[in-house]
Amino acid sequence: MTTDLQLNPGRELTPEEKSKIETYKNSINFNDSNQLIQYGAAAQNRLTSFADAVLTSVRSKDMGEIGEILINLTVDLKNFDGATERKGLFGSVKKKIARLQSEYSKVETNIGKIELELSKHNQTLLKDIYLFDRQYQENRAYFRELTLYIQAGEEKLEEMHQVTLPEMQKEVQTSNNVEQAQLYRDLEQQVTRFEKKIHDLKLSRTISMQLAPQIRMVQNNSATMIDKIQSTLVNTIPLWKNQMVLSLGLAHTQQALNVQKAVTDTTNELLKRNSEMLKQSTAEIAKESERGIVDIDTIKKANEDLFQAMDDLLRIQAEGREKRIAAEVELKAAEDELKKRLLPDNRKCVTRILGGGEVSPSLQPACAVFRYPLCGALPRNAPKDSEE
């Protein structure tokens, strides 16, 4: 990009510029070190301040906030779309419509906030563009001023190298004056330092040249964002609002369609169920009407149970009779055995039964009841049955 800041060396200087060059050149005093040091310093300081301001503007022009706002708007719209796509049962139609209206109100509120924020950013960017225009013009003036300082300094240096230093060198050589020689050396050092100063001014001018496209780049970025924001405010957001209204209307239509479909399906299901119940109940009634009071299977089962009960009764009675007969035989045998034991001829001496020895006092009452004789004590090894 070609700028007005690039001065054409071949162009004719204006009278005002020529006057400034002469003023700057005449103000150069090589005998004043402080004046040489400060030569062009005011323009350099202003240029440095401009560079800092421009760099600060470049760093601060992060449009992330606008990007985040647009992202939040997109998320809200997606949430609204998600709400319109949710499906519910017949009983939740009213709740779903209320949820859609709530989502629409939320999105509408957020869009209003976003419009306000975007408008604020738009105004800020417009102010920045105006500021960049001013910076560009001021930087252009500083560039020209530095160029005049440099041209004046170069003309002064040429004068020093072509006239002043050679004349002073001849005087030193002819006079052999030590003091004059020192003055020549000091002047020569001052000229060298001034050459470095002019070099620094040229570097500052180069920085000024670099600032020009930087300012325009930032300005163009701001202008691009303004166009984007304007497009969002004028086109995108109204379009989204219209689409949300259409989405809500379509959601209402879809919900009404779902309600009607549910009513139709319910009616058909009810008719089918009633017809099936009618068919089933009619068949059951007819079948029941043809049945007797008691089923033949029930009568057969009752007879079988009765016959089984009678058989069981006879069997149990026979088994009881047989058990009683067997018990009477056993009772008779027990009585005979008892009588046999109680007869006198069959009694035995208790002492012998016990194997001899004294009868224990605890057995004597029993012997008296059963009338067993108490024999005298016999030796344990005496014969028992053989003597009887």
Residues 340 and 360 in one domain: no
Q: In the predicted model, what is the mean pLDDT of the chain?
A: 76
Is it the case that residue 250 has pLDDT exceeding 60? yes
Nearest to 156 by CA among 191, 193, 121: 191
CA-CA-CA-CA torsion sign (254, 257, 263, 269): negative
pLDDT confidence of residue 69? 62
The answer on 222 and 115 residing in a single domain is: yes
Residues 367 and 222 in one domain: no
Tokens of 282: 């009619």
Do 215 and 339 reside in the same domain of the chain?
no
- Segment 150-159 shows an average pLDDT of 90
Whole-number pLDDT of residue 158 = 92
Mean pLDDT value across residues 225-250: 80
Neighbours of 349 (CB within 10 A): 18
Q: 163 with 110, same domain?
A: yes
Using left for φ > 0, alpha for ψ between -120 and 50, and beta otherwise, residue 176 falls in: left
- Asked if the structure places residue 9 within a domain, the reply is no
Domain boundary among 283, 314, 330: 283
DSSP structural state of residue 8 = -
> Higher-confidence residue: 349 or 52?
52
Inform me whether the pLDDT recorded for 378 exceeds 60: no
* Confidence (pLDDT) at 9: 45
Domain that holds residue 333: 293-346
**pLDDT tens per residue across span 58-110:** 565 555 555 666 676 667 666 666 655 555 544 455 566 666 666 667 677 77
377 phi/psi in degrees, rounded to 5: -70, 135
Residue 121 has pLDDT above 90, yes or no: no
Indicate the number of domains in the chain.
Answer: 3
Residues 198, 201, 206: CA angle, nearest 5 degrees:
130
φ, ψ at 379 (rounded to 5°):
-65, 150
Work out the average pLDDT over 283-294.
76
- Written as six digits, the tokens of 36 are 């040489």
